[in-house]
């Protein structure tokens, strides 16, 4: 994978993951299911960590679809025997999306200590992946 270094910097620096170096020897990335108006970018790091990156700037879509995305990720994590699931919302304007997402996450009854929510600036995400979000000319609406 050409952007391995960028993915490692994203996972460690932006998401704060403390995974050891050997976990990053295997990185898989692909476009996943559609949620709202965009598709999830799904990453598996070292068969331990599952990451969904969901590009959106629409608070109403977050309200409707975030619980389903969290449930889907937790279910996939458990079915695959992974340690953690990190749900990432990538937005151009983090503050309004983050406030809504944090409230939904806080009230999400099915969450456990192995799921984490991150709302990040879309420009902090790795640039060379399959997802349209990482095309610099793409605008998440």
Q: Could you tell me if residue 128 is inside a domain? A: yes
Q: Could you tell me if residue 22 is inside a domain? A: no
Q: Could you tell me if residue 141 is inside a domain? A: no
Domain hosting 62: range is 4-17+27-134
In the chain, how many domains are there? 1
Say which residues have a Cβ less than 8 Å from residue 69's Cβ, sequence separation at least 6: 35, 40, 52, 54, 87
The SS3 call for residue 119 is strand
Q: Could you tell me if residue 102 is inside a domain? A: yes
Q: Could you tell me if residue 139 is inside a domain? A: no
The SS3 call for residue 132 is helix
Per the CB < 8 A criterion, the answer to whether 73 and 87 are in contact is yes
Structure tokens at 60: 């109403």
Residue-level pLDDT, tens digit, the chain, 141 residues = 468 889 999 999 999 998 889 999 999 988 877 877 788 899 999 999 999 999 999 999 999 999 999 999 999 999 999 999 999 999 999 999 999 999 999 999 999 999 999 999 999 998 755 444 444 333 333
pTM, two decimal places: 0.87
């Amino acid at each position: 994978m050409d952007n391995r270094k960028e993915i490692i910097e994203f996972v460690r620096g932006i998401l704060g993951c403390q995974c050891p170096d050997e976990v990053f020897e295997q990185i898989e990335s692909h476009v996943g299911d559609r949620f709202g108006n965009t598709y999830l970018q799904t990453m598996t790091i070292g068969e331990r960590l599952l990451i969904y990156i969901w590009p959106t700037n629409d608070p109403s879509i977050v309200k409707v679809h975030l619980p389903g995305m969290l449930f889907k990720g937790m279910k996939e994590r458990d079915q695959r025997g992974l340690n953690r699931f990190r749900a990432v919302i990538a937005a151009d304007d983090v503050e309004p999306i983050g406030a809504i997402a944090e409230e939904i996450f806080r009230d999400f009854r099915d969450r456990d200590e192995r799921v984490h929510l991150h709302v990040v600036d879309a420009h902090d995400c790795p640039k060379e992946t399959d997802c349209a979000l990482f095309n610099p000319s793409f605008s998440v609406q």
